[in-house]
Amino acid sequence: MRLGNQRASNNVEDRRGIGVVGGGIGVGGIVVALIAYFLGFDPGVVMDAANQMAPQRETRMAPKGTPRDEMGQFTAKVLGSTEDVWGRIFQQANAAYRPPTLVLYDGQVHSACGMGQSAMGPFYCAGDEKLYIDLAFFRDLATRFRAPGDFAQAYVIAHEVGHHVQKLTGGARKMEGGRGSRVERNALSVRMELQADCYAGVWGHYAGTMNQLDPGDLAEALGAATAIGDDRLQKRAQGYAVPESFTHGTSEQRVRWFKRGMDSGRPQDCNTLSAGSL
């Protein structure tokens, strides 16, 4: 990616190196989180189930603003790019875009959704409108999932921002309440995740028009979408896939919906919630 001229966002909390005391999830919770991470389950569900009732707090205040290290600046610039793109899209719809905060952490982190663990992977918490990323995930993306590249990393950030767009536009309310059977809830979760993939593609479309993409960047993002499909993750973890348990979509679905947003640049083309076929 070419982000040299991109404005870095100041909506970053750098909690790396800040310990968390009190509460947390125990060994059993960590095991559950690891299973969820590799099988693609919703980390929010895991955190709600495993989080202990004791209060948690960081040992010191986290600095806010653009980090100084290379990877911190990269994530801040990607976040700044999403702010620029979605700010214009919302403005065209006569609405105001309220940007989320990106929280960098290592190990574990306290959020309004409960305690997060790096083993869960990146996640968005609607309760505090923050996306949480342990940058070690990017190393895992390249080595464990064989999806290297800076645009693959940017896709991950843009996907979590997509969940924030769902919060702002009201789509996330469809996930509230937890009604229906587990299979029905999983099916709805798949539609929400595929919409976030499509929204990530919308951002990628405009990143391309801003000359921020290099040749091969699209292939990196598609490689990441393929690597973290439910079917791919489950087959890797247990040798077979259970479609009824999918929460994020198959590799083919994730690639297709990302490409749909990337090709059109139109959020209205990302309506997975009413699409007959995914």
User: What's the mean pLDDT in 2-25?
Assistant: 83
Judged against a pLDDT cut of 60, whether residue 105 lies above it is answered with: yes
- Give the pTM: 0.85
pLDDT band for position 159 (cuts 50, 70, 90): very high
Judged against a pLDDT cut of 90, whether residue 111 lies above it is answered with: yes
CB 161 within 8 A of CB 86: yes
pLDDT in tens, 34-59: 444 444 444 554 455 444 434 455 55
User: What are 57's strand-pairing partners?
Assistant: 21
User: What's the mean pLDDT in 17-43?
Assistant: 49
What pLDDT is recorded for position 38?
Answer: 43
pLDDT in tens, 189-247: 999 999 999 999 999 999 998 899 999 999 999 999 999 899 999 998 999 999 999 99
C-alpha Rg value of the chain to the nearest Å: 18
Judged against a pLDDT cut of 80, whether residue 124 lies above it is answered with: yes
What pLDDT is recorded for position 200?
Answer: 97
pLDDT band for position 23 (cuts 50, 70, 90): very low
Name the residue range of residue 228's domain. 12-270
What does pLDDT average to over the chain?
86
Within a domain: residue 3?
no
- The SS3 call for residue 98 is coil
Within a domain: residue 70?
yes
| 135 φ/ψ angles, rounded to the nearest 5 degrees | -65, -10
pLDDT band for position 171 (cuts 50, 70, 90): confident
Question: Hey, how many other C-beta atoms are within 10 angstroms of the C-beta on 175?
Answer: 17
Question: Which distant-in-sequence residues (6+ apart) come within 8 Å of 13 by Cβ?
Answer: 62, 63, 64, 101, 102, 103, 104, 130
What pLDDT is recorded for position 10?
Answer: 96
Within a domain: residue 277?
no
CB 165 within 8 A of CB 86: yes
Judged against a pLDDT cut of 60, whether residue 18 lies above it is answered with: yes
Span of 6-20, 149-163, 165-179, 185-199 with lowest mean pLDDT: 165-179
Judged against a pLDDT cut of 50, whether residue 145 lies above it is answered with: yes
Within a domain: residue 144?
yes
Helices (H), the chain: 27-39, 43-50, 70-92, 136-143, 150-169, 182-209, 217-227, 230-238, 251-264
Domain count, the chain: 1
User: What's the mean pLDDT in 172-190?
Assistant: 80
Within a domain: residue 151?
yes
Question: Hey, how many other C-beta atoms are within 10 angstroms of the C-beta on 243?
Answer: 13
Judged against a pLDDT cut of 60, whether residue 177 lies above it is answered with: no
Closest Cα partner for 81 from 207, 264, 259, 265? 207
Judged against a pLDDT cut of 80, whether residue 25 lies above it is answered with: no
Within a domain: residue 37?
yes
Between CA 158 and CA 163, with CA 159 as vertex, the angle to 5 degrees is: 110
Within a domain: residue 226?
yes
Within a domain: residue 4?
no
